[in-house]
Amino acid sequence: MPERIKVFVVDDSAVVRQVVSGVLAADPAIDVIGSAIDPLFALEKMNRQWPDVIVLDIEMPRMDGITFLKKLMAERPTPVVICSSLTEKGAATTIEALAAGAIGIVTKPGIGVRRFLIEEAAAELIHTVKAAAGARLNRLPPRPASAPAPSARPAADPLTPRAAAAMQQTTERIVALGTSTGGTQALEAVLTALPRTAPGIVIVQHMPERFTASFAARLDALCQIEVREARSNDRVIPGRALIAPGGRHMQLRRSGAQYVVDVSDGPLVNRHRPSVDVLFRSVAKGAGRNALGVIMTGMGDDGARGLKDIHDCGGATLAQDEASSVVYGMPREAVKLGAVNRSVPLGAIAGEIARFG
């Protein structure tokens, strides 16, 4: 990460440009080198001094953010943080931007931008920009030319007699994944490679509220397994992956012979809600040696202590290796804590999950 992070802000709202620039400039590690109303004006300015991170709006005149992002990643890859509105359309477009190579998301409301950013989101904006500055874009998994069409899936409910009998046993395998910066692309690479017979999966991806539903829907359309945003009392069964909703914690518990999840409010843990540690600790308690915990690319240490709990309960643990991590923060902390059995490249994680099941 550079000593001072050079940031450029692109947004068609003068108020947003002013407030975002002011919040970032107040941090001594950040230097806001400019702003522009749209990508074309931005390119003119940035060509004189190129930034380390771009904070980018999606909907702008002359050139939209998605078009600009794709052009940028093809010609001069640069970490991009999307500044997105809290709307259903904004969420879906932002997920498209993440798939195209954006590193993180910060949100803005339709009204009250100044108060919102200053009072509620300033710390998160600064944290996200710093995480983006440390990202290594050459480690993003390659994007397929076109997404493969998944074959038809059998309905997950109700359970077949054979599956129901398996659920009565206490050896049902559970996989828990935790990730943050760079994780949306990494999760897509892992989940799209899994067969329908993969064990049940629970996932925390650090992401703001209202975005995880669109993220899960995108993955569900690409994957052989079922992927959806979790709801309380959802069963964790083979062939299904549940993603914790943004802004809420998710925990695993055993209900009789079944695994289910609880989704709840609660305080931030390690600055996050959902928190990987909250999920992993519940997996250690509920599944123990029948669990595989996997910690992937991300900034900070969320998940390290929870992965250690899984490890100490006799569960299997993996970390994404440094060479394939966009940000080798969370995996590094888990390794330092002695929580990791093995570190493996991103491309090997799907195979490890399939074999574990």
Residue 208: its pLDDT value, please? 86
Tell me the per-residue pLDDT of 165-187, one tens digit each, with 9 for 90 and over: 444 445 689 999 999 999 999 99
Residue 53 has a pLDDT of: 97
Q: Which entry of 127, 206, 272, 311 is annotated as an active-site residue?
A: 206
Q: Give per-residue pLDDT as tens, 193-220.
A: 999 999 999 999 999 888 999 999 999 9
Taking the CA of residue 270 as centre, how many other CA atoms within 13 Å lie in the half-sphere pointing to its CB? 20
Instruction: Say which CATH topology domain 5-135 has.
Output: Rossmann fold (3.40.50)
Helical axes 39-46 vs 65-75, angle rounded to 10°: 30
Residue 180 tokens read as: 């943050």
214 given a catalytic annotation: no
Secondary structure of residue 136 in the 3-state scheme: coil
Ranges of residues in the chain with a pLDDT under 50 are: 145-149, 154-169
Q: How many CB atoms lie within 10 A of CB 123?
A: 11
| Residue 158, preceding peptide bond in cis (omega within 30° of 0) | yes
Of the listed 85, 180, 275, 343, which one is catalytic?
Answer: 180
In angstroms, the Cα distances linking 338 to 299, 330, 335, 342 are 18, 13, 5, 10
Average pLDDT along the chain = 88
Q: Is 282 a catalytic residue?
A: no
- Annotated catalytic residue within 234, 277, 302, 309: 302
Does the active-site annotation cover 127? no
The pLDDT assigned to 204 comes to: 98
> Can you give the pLDDT at residue 156?
43
Global pTM reads: 0.88
Superfamily of structural domain 161-356: Methylesterase CheB, C-terminal domain (3.40.50.180)
The full set of domain ranges for the chain reads 5-135, 161-356
Q: Give pLDDT, residue 15.
A: 86
Q: If you ran DSSP here, which 8-state letter would residue 49 be given?
A: S
